[in-house]
Amino acid sequence: MLDPLLLIVFGFFIGILASMTGVGGGVFIVPILTFFYDFSPLASATGTSLTAIIFTAIASTINYARQKRIYYRTGLLLAVTTAPGAYFGSWVAKITDEHVLGVIFGTFLFLVAARMIFSLAWKRTTNKATSAETDAELIRSGRIIILGVALGFFGGVASGLLGIGGGTLIVPIMTFALGMPIHLATATSMFTMIFTATSGVAEYYQSGLVNLPIALLFAAGTVVGAQVGAFTSGKVSGKNLTILFSIMLIVAGANMIIKYA
């Protein structure tokens, strides 16, 4: 087993990537805890991962708030279903075959990445394909109520089930279904993730599946890394950020399939 203090270093780099792409970082945290720190059962790794993600999300949100890139009302509306979805997913994680679900989810991540890359290939980047709707306009539209809230539940379930924060689904939902530019989607995703991860952790904590000292070591690194990532994100083009997010999805999908197959 590696030195636990290395978790701070791991957390720093995970925080940078997570903040830039709107993903909580669990796609890396869970495998690290499983492969290098012998976490068993798997639910203890996912519960601990979600706990660390809460701190990452808060740190990123503070920075993005200063940049005025968060759609608060849209994020809160999505949280209405992502939060209970995460709680439900955490409960399901303890009673279902995690191997089958892990492979299915990993495959789904590949499909989402392929969809985003396909859009770029046809010069339909998220920045060009999205409208100029404001936060208030999105809230008033039936599209966000039907698509965002409904799909957000599944993002929450994935978060609680696999300990990944939910951004891998929430960011594509915001960009493709709701028409948000990816810079706003990644920032709003981190805001929504505060509620999503907290809800999922509640179920894991009640079952004694959260290793708080390990989560805090990860958080010590992710909080700093998240600030770096949030600052860097604003200097990256929408196209490049979309490519980076697609790569993150591919890596996440490969990790899930390798881990659960």
* Residue 58 resides in a domain: yes
Asked if residue 131 belongs to a domain, the reply is yes
Q: Interior CA angle at 253 toward 27 and 219, to 5°?
A: 5
Locate 248 and state its tokens: 């993150």
pLDDT digits 0-9 by tens, 196-231: 999 999 999 999 999 999 999 999 999 999 888 888
- pLDDT on residue 167: 79
pLDDT tens digits for 104-154?
Answer: 778 877 887 887 777 666 545 444 444 557 888 887 777 677 888 888 998
Q: What residues have CB less than 8 Å from 78, skipping those under 6 apart?
A: 148, 149, 152, 155, 170, 173, 174, 192
User: What is the domain extent for residue 34?
Assistant: 6-260
Tens of pLDDT, residue by residue over 228-250, are 888 887 677 777 877 877 887 88
Rounded to two decimals, the pTM is 0.82
Q: What percent of the chain has pLDDT over 70?
A: 92
Is 10 within a domain? yes
Q: Measure CA of the first residue to CA of the last residue in the chain; give whole Å.
A: 23
Tell me whether residue 195 is in a domain: yes
Domain total in the chain: 1
- Does 227 map to a domain? yes
Pair 109, 256: CB distance under 8 Å? yes
Task: Assess if residue 65 is contained within a domain.
Answer: yes
Whether 1 maps to a domain, the answer reads no
Q: Tell me the two tokens of residue 161.
A: 């089930």
Cα–Cα distances in angstroms (integers) from residue 225 to residues 1, 37, 199, 218, 219, in the given order: 24, 22, 23, 11, 9
| Average pLDDT of the residues of the chain | 84
